[in-house]
Structure 1
Amino acid sequence: MIQEHMASFKVIGISVRTTNENNQAAIDIPALWERFMTTGIAQQIPNKAGEEIYAIYTAYEKDHTRPYTTVLGCPVTSFDEVPAGMETVEIAAGNYARFTATGNISEGAVFNEWLKIWNTPLPRKYATDFEVYGAKAQDPEHAEVPIFIALKNE
């Protein structure tokens, strides 16, 4: 884990409200990915600031054990144009802990990293956490996916 300060940025994408209770997120999040990939959501997002795909976890009811919203989208330069059915999320500037999931995505590399995060004592903010699927995630069998966890300012 590396701690770093990040500037704020904007993302537009699609979302689902889910929870880790009863493994509901294991159903909802793959279904959101399927919709994102098969309906060409990334190509419909205007004012893109990059080709990376962000998986954002926000609007936590309390912590990772309670309901939260997952948004899949792309970074944008503005919210001037938001396609119907899409959401906007502004990632706040602040301190984040960066973890890196490595390995086969389809065999749970990212989820396994989250298991470590949930068991790591961190001063989590439970505001907005995110994963970045960039160039190093293009080979799903040997992917590298950074995961950023918002930290409380201490």
Structure 2
Amino acid sequence: MHIVQQDTALRIIGIELRTANSEAMQTIPPHWQRFTQENVLANIPGKLSDEVYAVYTHFENAGLNNQGIYSLIIGAPVSSAQAVPPGMAHAVLPASPRAVFPVPKGQFDQVGPTWQEVWQRDDLPKTFIAECERYRADGQIDILIGLRHGSTA
């Protein structure tokens, strides 16, 4: 894990799922399947890149914890002015320090265990506003966790 400073907000447009940790193992895989089957990435207008972001946001207890219902929006980064197409939603990754947890390159099966590592870290001042997985074209996967400003964790 290392800390990076995200200097500007990043807006993501994609498809949304409302879920909770108690049902995530049953609801998130079909959501990813829908993203792939419907070729959502190709249908996002004004993409800034082909990186895929899975953003966990709109937490029931925003700013406090990740318990309760939240949104998972899988999509791509767009400009702040891009309109949201019908049937899609948007999320904003606010500017903040972020803890970056790399997942072994191309090992999608390690995303879950890496999240477990993230949530076991009580030493990080997490914001619980918008966390994400970033999937790069080269196969690199990173989990990015928002940290309170002034954090050097």
Taking structure 1 as the reference length, the TM-score comes to 0.88
Q: Classify the secondary structure of the residue corresponding to 1:64.
A: coil
**Correspondence for 1:118:** 119
Deviation at 1:80, TM superposition (A): 3.2
**Correspondence for 2:147:** 151
Instruction: Flag structure 1 segments of 5+ consecutive residues without an equivalent.
Output: 138-143
Cα distance in structure 1, aligned partners of 2:85 and 2:60: 27
Q: Classify the secondary structure of the residue corresponding to 1:114.
A: helix
Cα distance in structure 1, aligned partners of 2:143 and 2:45: 25
Q: Classify the secondary structure of the residue corresponding to 2:138.
A: helix
**Correspondence for 1:83:** 85
Cα distance in structure 1, aligned partners of 2:104 and 2:29: 18
Correspondence 1:95 to 2:94: no
Instruction: Flag structure 2 segments of 5+ consecutive residues without an equivalent.
Output: none
Cα distance in structure 1, aligned partners of 2:70 and 2:55: 10
Distance 1:92 1:115, change over 3 A: same
Cα distance in structure 2, aligned partners of 1:79 and 1:112: 36
**Correspondence for 1:133:** 135
* Runs of 4+ in structure 1 over 3 Å off: none
Larger helix percent:
1
Q: Classify the secondary structure of the residue corresponding to 2:104.
A: strand
Cα distance in structure 2, aligned partners of 1:50 and 1:80: 14
Percent of aligned pairs sharing the same letter: 31
Give the aligned residue type for 1:58: T
Cα distance in structure 1, aligned partners of 2:28 and 2:91: 17
Cα distance in structure 2, aligned partners of 1:152 and 1:77: 24
Give the aligned residue type for 1:131: E
Q: Any conservation in 2 of the 1:52–1:75 contact (CA below 8 Å)? A: yes
Corresponding pairs, count: 144
Correspondence 1:8 to 2:6: no
